[in-house]
Every structure is written in C-alpha cells, then in structure tokens.
Amino acid sequence: MATTRADADAGDDLYSVLALQRVELTAADSVESDLDFAFRLQLQEAISASLAHVPSSPSTSSAPPPLPHDAASPTFASLQSEELMKLDRELADSRQAKLETQKAREDLQRAIHDHNFAKELAEISDDEWEESGDNIEKPLCARDSGDYFFKVYSKGLVIEELVNGERVSLSAIGVGICDQMDNLIFELKKPLIKSGLNKSAAETKALIEGLNAALSMELDRVRVFIDCFPLFQFVTGRWPAKQRKISVLVDQVSLLEKRFSYFKPRHVARNDMKYVYELARAAINSQMTVPAEISRGKTINETCVICLEDTDVGHMFSIDGCLHRYCFLCMKKHIEEKLRQGMEPTCPHEGCKSKLEVESCRIFLTLKLFEIWNQRMKEALIPVTEKVYCPYPKCSALMSKSEIERDASSSSFVGRRLGARKCTKCHRRFCIDCKVPWHNNMTCIYYKRLNPNPPTEDVKLKSLASSNLWRQCVKCNHLIELAEGCFHMTCRYFIHHSELIILVGMFRNNF
C-alpha cells in the first residue's frame, strides 16, 4: 500500500511539473511569435527601402511582394508542446492501467476469500447449517490467502524458420497464470527481440515474465511449473549455471523468488505445458506473418466504429463469419450488457446475427465474465421445461430431468417410485415433485399437508415481485418487468423476441 501511495504522489508531482511546463511554453510561444512578427516587419521595411532606390518601370509594382509564411517549419515551442501532450497521454494510460490492475487484484482477493469461505461452509454439518446457516458470515479481509496458491506456467521457444527465403532464428515466450482450479486468470505471449538466445535463456526469460506478472497482481503464493529440466535444476539450486548470460538470468529468478511467501517449483511433462507452448508458438508465427508496415517500425491504427477511437490493430477483434471488427473494450462492454440482459451475445453490427464464440472472445474477457458466459451456455443447452435445481441451499446445481431420470432408473432405492431423485453434484436425495429435500417415510401428499406454507425464500421473492409489479411467464417461470412498449409479452425462450426486460433468473418453482 505504501508503494501505491508513493507512486500516486509521484504521478501527481509529474502532473504538476507538466502543468508548469505548459504555462512556460505558452509564454515562450507568445514571445517567439512577437519576435517573428518584428523580424518580418523589419525585413518588409528593408525591402521597401531597397526598392525605393531602383528606377520604376511600368511593369514594376510600387508595393513590395508579401513575404511567404513558412507554415511547414514548426517552432520549438510547438514541438515541445506536442511532446508534452504525448507524455500527458502516456501518464493517463499508465494511470488507467494501474486502476485496471488494482481492480484485478481486488477480484483475485475476493475469489480467494470466497474459496476459503466455501471450504469452511462445506465442513459445516447439515444440523448446524439448519440452526445457524443464515447468520454465518465472513468479512473480506485485506489478506485472506491462507493456503491458497496460484499456478505459474511459462514456456520459451527458439525456432529456426524460413522467412522471405532466409533462415532466421525466432524466439518468443508464453506465460499463463491459473488458480488452484486451473481457471486462467492471466496470459501473455510476446516475441523476444534479442537474437542469439538459446533455449535455456528463452525459458528463463519466460519464467521471469511470469513471476513479474504474478507479483504485479500481488500473488504471493505460487507454484511454478517447468518442463525444461536444466532450468528446473538451475532454479532449485542443484546445478550451477556455467554460462554468464544464464547465470545472470537465474540470479534474477532467485531475487524474485524471495518476494514470494510461498514458492514451489515443479518439473512436469511437456504435455502439461501445451497451452503456454501454443501461446509462444503464436508469438513466433506473428513474427513470420508481420505486415511490411510493422516490420519497418510503423504502427497501424484502425478506427473502432463504436467508440470512434483509433486503436492498434492488435487490439481489434474480428468476428468469425461476418468479419466485422471492433476494439476489445467495446466488445467486452457489449458482451457484458447482453449477458446482464439474459441474451445470447451476437455481433454488435445492426442487423447482423453472427454468433460470438466464447473461446475466440476469451482474449479480452475477464475471468468472471468468462465463467458467467459458460454458465449461460450450459443453461441454454437445457430446455426450459427440463430444468431442475437442487433444493439444498449449499448446492443449487442445475440439472435436466432426463439426466436425473437416467440416474434414477439405474438406482435400486425404493423411494424412487415415490419421486426420490439424487443430485448429480452433491449426491443428496430430493423430491422431484415437491422440489424439496427428500421427505423420508412420507408421501408427497402427507408432506404437503404438514407443510402447507411455501419456503421462506419463495415468500420473500413473491413479495418482492408483487411490490415491484413483476410478472411471471407461464411457460418458463421467469420474472419480468415492463420497461417500455405495450402490455403484450412474448417469451424469448420460446420465440427469440421480447418486448420486456428479464430482471431475475430462473426461479426453481412456480408461485
């Protein structure tokens, strides 16, 4: 936190210096304009005086010709002003990048907290849960890592390829950081500019990039996975690095290692590194197919038709099928809004129905948005009339009736004839007819007679819906609210059109 505050103070000081320099440049530009005007006035008078001593002719005009203004030669003040504007944009971009990084850190901290809290909840007995489950809470602490760790995968490649008829050596790195469930939270692929790198140097550079990325996200507990056996021996200290270049890189790894509270390198097979290998290979392929303008050091920008900002072509997304192109930020906001409305993300172009693929969009999606989209896709595969939710609050898994019936047909449990089914996730039994935990030694009619009132959660939701004038679709049971248009309702889950906005997800039972 102290480092962040120091960086913020340094950034504020830099902004103050920039503002002061702008004031000085404005004054200098004004003085330079006055001097230029005085010089031109004196030159005009000198030309007029010299023409007065020349004999006049009928073809000679008495007025001296005007002096051309050299607009093509910029002044020093204007050049310096352009540099200040460029530095100002870079500072704004840097501040925005820090904000995004801080947001990613908070999301990771929240994910770690939720993981640890879920483990604690899983250890609570059902009796204790029934007694005090509604009152259990665990505030989010600044540091709640516990024994949670992250996985760092890195790969460096050095390959000789034929480019424009010449055999050249190309090198690149790929880095992936995952949580304990192997959910990807960060990836990196980029070429290595320096030539003459060997495999060990490229592998070590990839590891350094991965460790720096983990530290920038404040991940202080990591397991490092390495498939290069010499690098694994160097990192664990079993082999000394004999080459000076490798030795310097290994020393950098050792310094980075000391900044982690938990650091565990592991040697794995090459098959376990396929993902980062593909990232490094893609970076090498980009060097082979780079456009001529980029190879000459020029940057190619493309205007996004949504935000109208000039964006680097590397940050433009091309949609498969229709090939419409938009910047990463606009695509992310578009998908986020569509998922919030419960709609399937399609191409933002008006009238275009091309569907977006979650894997192709993964490059600009956050981890949370990626998981939400996958969950929505899973829900969309199950017909509305087939959806069943586990009634246990700690599970609530989504299942299909056909899936449950297949499991029930192979079961020898006597209660299955009375409606007993088993959850595919938590494997606990529930009643498919009453949508409640299994009422053992009790028929559905007798159970409903003993429990005539609906669950407390259902009553609260029904009260909320009534107070907000929400209505329930008779086909899919979704709660909806009239936002605009007439009172006609068309269910989007049966006909892909709707004049109403869905606010609340699928409710597991009818009111």
Query: φ and ψ at 263, to 5 degrees?
Result: -140, 115
Parallel, antiparallel or unpaired: strands 166-178 and 184-191: antiparallel
Q: Which residues pair with 226 in a beta bridge?
A: 267
Reported as half-sphere exposure (CB side, CA atoms, 13 A), residue 4 has a value of 10
380 in Cβ contact with 371 (< 8 Å)? no
- The residues pairing with 173 across neighbouring beta strands, listed in sequence order, are 156, 190
Collapsing DSSP to helix, strand or coil, 70 comes out as coil
Please list, in sequence order, all residues whose beta carbon lies within 8 angstroms of the beta carbon of residue 471, skipping any fewer than 6 positions away: 465, 479, 480, 481, 482, 489
Neighbouring-strand partners of residue 199:
none
Asked if 423 is an active-site residue, the reply is: no
Both structure tokens of 403:
């899936």
SS3 string, 209-253, reads: HHHHHHHHCCCCEEEEEECCHHHHHHHCCCCCCCCHHHHHHHHHH
Provide the token pair at 410: 């192979």
Q: What tokens were used for 289?
A: 């197919």
Q: Is 244 left (phi over 0), alpha (psi -120 to 50) or beta?
A: alpha
Helix (H) or strand (E) holding 176: strand 166-178
The one catalytic residue among 390, 423, 473, 486: 486
- Give Cα 393 distance to the centre of its chain: 30
User: Both tokens of residue 241?
Assistant: 């690095």
Cα 169 to Cα 194, 209, 288, 315, 411, distances in angstroms: 10, 21, 11, 27, 61
Which residues are known to be catalytic? 486
